[in-house]
Structure 1
Amino acid sequence: MASKVMATSENILREGELEKRSDGLFQVWKKKRCVLTADRLRLFSGSSGRVKELFFHSILKVDCVEHTSKYVYFTIVTTFYKEIDFRCASKSCWNAAITVALIDFQNRRAVEDVRRYRFQRSASEEPPESRKPRSLDPDARDQLSREPAHAAALDRSPGAQRMDTRVTTLLFTEEIPVLAEPRPAVRVR
């Protein structure tokens, strides 16, 4: 079966035949009908109709191992460092088509990541909403003042200390103020 280059509504880049080396003990070469799209390589078994899909987000690279007069041997390395060996007719250039499609996929993904980062960055640079300090209503203040640990902090009794420092965290050029909890009153005798 000769390979051919196609462009349809399904975004099929190439369709044809590859040989895949089996993982078994004898490692025989099995012919597979393959369909290359913009985001995956589909491998169809001859008689069973089973489909194995290699998604580009799980592929690290395509290594070309050897050129002979009849075949080009290449290996697809996955993100789990599993190696899948293939061979194709030397004139079909399947290894080059898969490599170009993988690079195109990785470039599109990188552009999307940059756009997402810029969007998040621009959203974080917008002026923050006006922050009003929260004040306790008189009933809540009376409730808290009945508790001995908070009474000194709220009434400013002698010996009571309140931490008024602010700690800021820098995360993607965004400052997030954090107020420290008031310490319980320490009495010195």
Structure 2
Amino acid sequence: MIFRETKLNGAYIIEIEPIEDERGFFARSWCKEEFEKYGLNSNLVQCNISFNKKKGILRGMHYQCTPYEEVKSVRCIRGAIYDVIIDLRPESETYKQWTSIELTPENRKMIYVPRGFAHGFQTLEDNTEVFYQMSEFYHGECARGVRWDDENFSIVWPIKEKIISDKDEKYGELKI
């Protein structure tokens, strides 16, 4: 596996290293030892799937607060997404900065989202499916979010016409 740190401290793009032959390829997509070698949380307690019927669906920007802050590893297994993470750790050098990556089944990339980050995505195709690995169980009382269009971040989303849930639309701006 290839680990490439993003411009945000502690967040990684992870790529597979396929071993190919005439049949296709074999590759590792998860390894506890390799994650730990980079100082990443390798404790996985839950896997989730997000299926999205339409292009333009925007989900985010979500996180869980203390004591259930979570690490996420996110892959797109069908369709395509524009994936965005925001560093919400006040002590971090990259506080309030965001980065994005396009995730597709073809590029087989995964993003590692550290504790203290908000995460969201916009679908780039109909019938898009996203696979999450989580370090914490879901705790509704600790579920939080910031607005997808919060001026503190000025995220540039690729599709103008967005489909957003009422819950995500009602999140407030980051309190500084």
- Classify the TM-score, shorter chain: under 0.3
Which structure: larger Rg? 1
Name the one with the larger strand percent.
Answer: 2
Of structures 1 and 2, the one with the larger relative CO (CA 8 A, separation 6+) is: 2
Structure with the higher fraction of residues in helix conformation: 1
